[in-house]
Amino acid sequence: MLNLGTDEMAKYPFLAEAGQYLKDKGFTLDQFGSDPDLGPIIEKAYKRIETAATGKIYRSEIVTLDDLDLEVFSFLMAVILLKLSGMHTLIRRFSLAEARRAEKYLEKDLQNISNKKQEELAIKIIKDLFSMDVKKTDDYFVIQVSDYLKHSVFFHEKEWKLINRRTDRGNVFLTSHEAVRLIRKELDSYIRSKIQSIKTPTMLAALEKPVEKLVTLAKKFSVPTIESTEYPPCIKHAIDFLDKGENLSHSGRFLLATYLLSIGQSVEQIAPLIKNAPDYNEKITLYQLNHLAGSSGSGTGYKCPSCDKVKTNDLCFATSDCNGIINPLQFKKKKNLNA
Amino acid sequence: MLDKDLQLLESAFKKYYFDHFDLIHVPERTSEREFGYQKFNSGMNRHLPIKSDEELRIMLITNIPSDVYCSNSYYSFPNLPMNEKDWKEADLIFDVDSKDLNLDCRKDHSCIKCLSCSEVALSQKICPNCKSTKIEEKSFTCLNCVTAAKNEITKLITILTEDLDVSKKNIHVYFSGNEGFHVYVKNSNFQKLGSRERSELVDYLMFRGAIPETFGMKKFNSNRSSFPEFDEKGWRGRVSRQLFGTKSKRSKGITEIISNGYTTFQHRLENMKDTLGVKIDPSVTMDVHRIFRLAGSLNSKSGLTKIFCDDIEKFNPFRDACFIDDEKTEVFANCPITFTLKNKKFGPYEKEKVTVPKFAAIYLICKGFANSV
C-alpha cells in the first residue's frame, strides 16, 4: 500500500483505509451521530454527492491543514451516506465524479516538473493501482502497447484506437492528460469497488435526514426507455444478404443467430433464415444454432458480439440511429429523449 | 464422400503419417494445450489432451484423421469444456489467405461446383447445367498468389518488429497446407491479451480506423507542421512516404491535401488500407479459443502438409509441402483448370479417366475435382 501524507490523502481520499484513518485521527463513527461539531462534515459529504449527481466535479477548498482532514473525512462520510441510502445510481455517479477529480490531481502531479516527488507519486499510483508502467521520455509519458490496449479498449472514440497513436518499438507515447484519461474507467471501477466492499454501517439519528434526501435525489435519475421494434442495420443487412442467396460469412451468421437468440427467438424460428445460403444444410444449421443457444455442447449460450467486433468483421452498417450504442442489442433500447 | 475416395484418402494419409512422423511433433507446453481432430465424413473431436509425440503418433495411426488441430492457447485444464478450461494465455496468430487478396489471377484458377447436380465449370454465378444458385467456389492457388501472400507476411513482420517490438526469433511462419500461411508470435508481451485487445491489434496491422487528425489534417486550420515527416516511425512515417513519394515533394503534397479538404483526405486514408494495411483474417487473430491445424499434419482440403517455412523467400508450397508418394493412381477427373505439383503440370481434365501420381490424385479428390475409380 502507498504511504501517503494527509495532503496526498486529500487529493486521493479513496486510497485511505476508512476505519484505520478515523482511528488514527482519534474518531469513531458513533461520534458523528452525537457530536454537533462534526455536523459540517456531514453537510460537506452531502454536497459532495449532490455535486457528483449533477455530473459536476467537486472542487476542494483547501486553505489550512484542518481543511485537509475535512477533505478526507467528507469523502469517507459521503461513502457512509451512500451505503446507508443503498442508491446504486448515486454510487455510480459519485465514483465517476471522484475519479475525474482524482484525474485532475494526477494530471497536475504528472506535469509538475518542479516537484519530482509528486510526479513519482502519480506514476506510482498508476502503477500500483492499475499495473501499468509509465515512463517519462521528453514531454511524453510512455507505456507499453500491451498495457495501452488493456485500457484503451474501453473507449469508443476513434482517437483512442492504437492506429491513431504515436507508436514505436512496442511503446505508445501519450501526453499527461491522455495517460491519466486512459485509466479513468479503472479509477472509477476502483473507487466503486472500494465503496461496494465497505460494510453498510448501522443508521445513526444524525444521518437519517441526509440519507432520506439522497433517496429523493436518486429518483430524479431514473431514465425511461422505449423498445424499438426495428432490427439494427447490421442485422438487417445480414438478413437481406441471406435473402438474396448470398454467402454470409461465418461471423455474419454468428452475429445474426446470437442477436436473434438474445431477443428471444427460438432455434426453429431462426433456422429458416439460413435456408437460402448456398451451403445450407439443415442438420448442421440446427446443430450450430442449438450450440449457440447453449442447448447442446457445454451448455453455455453465446452472447451477441459487441459493435467493435462487428466492425472488425466488416459487418457494421451503422446509421445515426446507432449513435451511442456499443452492442447491437442496445439498438432496441434507445433512450426516449422526449420522456 | 464416396467409399472409394475415402479408402484412397485414408490409406494415403495413413502412409504419410507412418512415413513422415519426423515432421510432426507436439508443440512445447504440450500438457497445457487442447488438441482436436476430425475424421473423413465425421464431426470434430475437441478438448483432447495429448501428452507426447508417442501419444500423438498412436492417435494418428489409429484414427487416421483428415485434419489434426492444436490450440494456440494455454489452459490449466485443456481437456475440460471451454468454460472450465481456465484460460492462461495464447500465442498471437495471423492468417494470411491468398483467397482474401482479390488478385486478378484468381479467376484463372477458380471454378464452381454445383451442389445440386455436381457440375464443375469455370467461375460463374449459376450452374450452367441445372441453373441452380447453390454453388460452391473451388480454387487452386498459383505461384502469383503465393508471392502476394508472402508480401503480406513481409509487411506483417515489419510492423510487428518495428512498431510492436516483437523479436524476429519469436515469429514463425507456416504454410497452412492449402491457400495461405499462418504466422505465430510466441513469448511476446501480447500473450495475455484477450479477444477485444487482439481485435484492436488487428485494426492497427490492417490500417483500419485511422482518422485524418492523426496525420495532421484537421477540419479547420490545419497546421502544416503537424503533417508527418518522411522518416517518422510507425504509421505516420509509412503514410507520409505513401502520400508524398519523396522528401522533396512533401511541402507541395501538404498544400494539395489542405486545398482538397478534410473529406477527400479521409477517403484517401480509407483507401490506403488496401495498399498499406496487412491483409489478414481478423476473426482468426481475435479468437482466443480456436484450435489450429497442427504443424506437420495434412490438410484435407489439398493433401498438402502444414509446414514450417524456414526460408519464406525460397519456399514453394507445390514443391516443399507435397509429401504424398508418387505411386501411379487412376482417377475419374473433371477439372477445367490446370495446376502444378512437384514441378509437374496437371490438367485440364474433362470428365475423363486419368492415371496420375498419387499426390496429384489426392490433391484432385481433396479439391473435389476427381473420384477414385
ipTM value, please give it: 0.92
| A152 CA: distance to closest CA in chain B (Å) | 8
Give the nearest partner residue to B283 out of A162, A167, A313, using CB atoms.
Answer: A313
Whether residue B220 sits in one domain with residue B86 = no
Chain A residues lying within 8 Å of B162, measured CB to CB:
168-169
- pLDDT score at A206: 83
Cis peptide before B348 (omega within 30 of 0): yes
Whether residue B75 sits in one domain with residue B192 = yes
| A131 CA: distance to closest CA in chain B (Å) | 14
Give yes or no for a contact between A22 and A74, defined as CB atoms under 8 angstroms apart. Answer: no
Asked if A251 and B196 come within 8 Å (Cβ–Cβ), the reply is no
Whether residue B216 sits in one domain with residue B182 = no
Give the nearest partner residue to A149 out of B201, B210, B236, using CB atoms.
Answer: B201
For residue A243, give Cα distances in angstroms to A20, A240, A248, B115: 66, 5, 10, 18
Please check whether residue B89 lies inside any domain of the structure: yes
Give yes or no for a contact between B138 and B368, defined as CB atoms under 8 angstroms apart. Answer: yes
Question: How many whole angstroms separate alpha carbon A42 and alpha carbon A81?
Answer: 9
Give yes or no for a contact between B26 and B4, defined as CB atoms under 8 angstroms apart. Answer: no
CB count in 10 Å sphere of residue A272: 11
Give yes or no for a contact between A145 and A161, defined as CB atoms under 8 angstroms apart. Answer: no
Is the predicted pLDDT of residue A332 greater than 90, yes or no?
Answer: no
Phi, psi for residue B157 in degrees, rounded to 5: -65, -35
Residue of A nearest to B191 (CA): A146
More reliable by pLDDT, B363 or A132: B363
pLDDT in tens, B68-83: 999 999 999 999 988 8
Is the predicted pLDDT of residue A336 greater than 50, yes or no?
Answer: no
- Residue that has been written with the C-alpha cell 450450430 in this structure: A288
Whether residue B259 sits in one domain with residue B194 = no
For residue A88, give Cα distances in angstroms to A17, A95, A154, A192, A197: 21, 10, 21, 10, 13
- pLDDT score at A278: 66
Chain B residues lying within 8 Å of A158, measured CB to CB:
209, 211
Is the predicted pLDDT of residue A339 greater than 60, yes or no?
Answer: no
Please check whether residue B231 lies inside any domain of the structure: yes
Q: At how many degrees (to 10) do helices B143-162 and B195-206 cross? A: 110
More reliable by pLDDT, A16 or A79: A79
More reliable by pLDDT, A65 or A182: A182
Interface with chain B: mutation pick from A154, A167, A313, highest number of B CBs within 10 Å = A167
Task: Supply the DSSP string of A283-305, one letter for each residue.
Answer: HHHHHHHHHHHTSSTTSPPPPPP
Cα A37-A41-A45 angle, rounded to 5 deg: 160
User: Which pLDDT band holds residue A19 (cuts at 50, 70, 90)?
Assistant: low
Final residue before a domain boundary, out of B238, B260, B275: B275
Please check whether residue B367 lies inside any domain of the structure: no
B171-175 and B180-185 beta bridge pairing: antiparallel
- pLDDT score at A73: 86
Residue A240 grid coordinates? 437481406
Whether residue B214 sits in one domain with residue B81 = no
Chain A residues lying within 8 Å of B165, measured CB to CB:
145, 169-171
- pLDDT score at A154: 84
Asked if the C-beta of A301 comes within 8 angstroms of chain B's C-beta atoms, the answer is: no
Is the predicted pLDDT of residue A228 greater than 70, yes or no?
Answer: no
- pLDDT score at A139: 82
Q: How many helices (H) and strands (E) does chain A have?
A: 16, 4
Partner B, chain A 126-155, Cβ-Cβ below 8 Å: 144-146, 149-150, 152-153
- pLDDT score at A337: 43
Chain B residues lying within 8 Å of A251, measured CB to CB:
283
Please check whether residue B112 lies inside any domain of the structure: no
Please check whether residue B16 lies inside any domain of the structure: no
Options B5, B67, B95, B287, the catalytic residue: B95
Question: How many whole angstroms separate alpha carbon A286 and alpha carbon A270?
Answer: 9
pTM for the whole thing?
Answer: 0.81
CA contacts within 13 A on the Cβ side of A73: 23
Final residue before a domain boundary, out of B323, B341, B356: B323
Across the range A280-302, mean pLDDT stands at 82
- pLDDT score at A338: 37
Dihedral of CA A261/A267/A269/A272: which sign? Answer: positive
- pLDDT score at A122: 83
Structural domain span for residue B316? 21-100+142-203+281-323
- pLDDT score at B298: 98
Active site residue B104: no
Burial class (CB in 10 A: 0-12, 13-18, 19+), B308: middle
- Secondary structure element (H or E) that encloses residue A253, with its range: helix A250-262
Give the nearest partner residue to B208 out of A163, A165, A169, using CB atoms.
Answer: A163
Dihedral of CA B294/B300/B306/B312: which sign? Answer: negative
Give yes or no for a contact between B204 and A163, defined as CB atoms under 8 angstroms apart. Answer: yes
Task: Give B95's contacts (C-beta < 8 A, 6+ positions apart).
Answer: B176, B180, B181, B182, B183, B280, B281, B284, B285
Residue of B nearest to A249 (CA): B283
Active site residue B163: no
- pLDDT score at B271: 95
SS3 for B80?
Answer: coil
pLDDT in tens, A21-48: 777 777 777 777 777 777 888 899 999 9
- pLDDT score at A335: 44
Please check whether residue B58 lies inside any domain of the structure: yes
Phi, psi for residue B120 in degrees, rounded to 5: -110, 130
- Residue that has been written with the C-alpha cell 481543511 in this structure: A67
Write out residues in chain B with pLDDT < 50, as ranges: none
Whether residue B94 sits in one domain with residue B46 = yes
pLDDT in tens, A61-111: 655 656 777 888 889 899 999 999 998 889 989 999 999 999 888 888 888
Give the nearest partner residue to A279 out of B82, B83, B136, using CB atoms.
Answer: B136
Asked if A312 and B165 come within 8 Å (Cβ–Cβ), the reply is no
Asked if A145 and B209 come within 8 Å (Cβ–Cβ), the reply is no
Whether residue B151 sits in one domain with residue B90 = yes
Give yes or no for a contact between B298 and B322, defined as CB atoms under 8 angstroms apart. Answer: no
Chain A residues lying within 8 Å of B200, measured CB to CB:
149, 152-153, 161-162
Domain count within chain B: 2
Please state, rounded to an integer, the average pLDDT across all residues of chain A: 83
Whether residue B155 sits in one domain with residue B53 = yes
Question: How many whole angstroms separate alpha carbon B157 and alpha carbon B281?
Answer: 16
- The CATH number linked to B150 is 3.90.920.10
Whether residue B57 sits in one domain with residue B40 = yes
Across the range A114-121, mean pLDDT stands at 79
Query: How many A/B residue pairs have CB atoms within 8 Å?
Result: 108
Residue of B nearest to A252 (CA): B283
Give yes or no for a contact between A200 and A91, defined as CB atoms under 8 angstroms apart. Answer: no
Residue A196 grid coordinates? 461496494
CB count in 10 Å sphere of residue A335: 12
- pLDDT score at A224: 56
Chain B residues lying within 8 Å of A166, measured CB to CB:
233-234, 236
Asked if the C-beta of A244 comes within 8 angstroms of chain B's C-beta atoms, the answer is: no
Options B97, B165, B320, B325, the catalytic residue: B97
Whether residue B154 sits in one domain with residue B46 = yes
Asked if the C-beta of A283 comes within 8 angstroms of chain B's C-beta atoms, the answer is: no
For residue A59, give Cα distances in angstroms to A10, A101, A113: 12, 8, 23
Q: In 3D, which of B305, B341, B30 has the Cα closest to residue B176?
A: B305
Active site residue B95: yes
SS3 for A276?
Answer: coil
Whether residue B313 sits in one domain with residue B269 = no
Asked if the C-beta of A163 comes within 8 angstroms of chain B's C-beta atoms, the answer is: yes
Give yes or no for a contact between B293 and B177, defined as CB atoms under 8 angstroms apart. Answer: yes
Whether residue B270 sits in one domain with residue B154 = no
Please check whether residue B333 lies inside any domain of the structure: no
Asked if A170 and B189 come within 8 Å (Cβ–Cβ), the reply is yes
Give yes or no for a contact between B48 and B35, defined as CB atoms under 8 angstroms apart. Answer: yes
Give the nearest partner residue to A149 out of B83, B136, B200, using CB atoms.
Answer: B200
User: Which pLDDT band holds residue A295 (cuts at 50, 70, 90)?
Assistant: confident
Please check whether residue B194 lies inside any domain of the structure: yes
Asked if A298 and B136 come within 8 Å (Cβ–Cβ), the reply is no
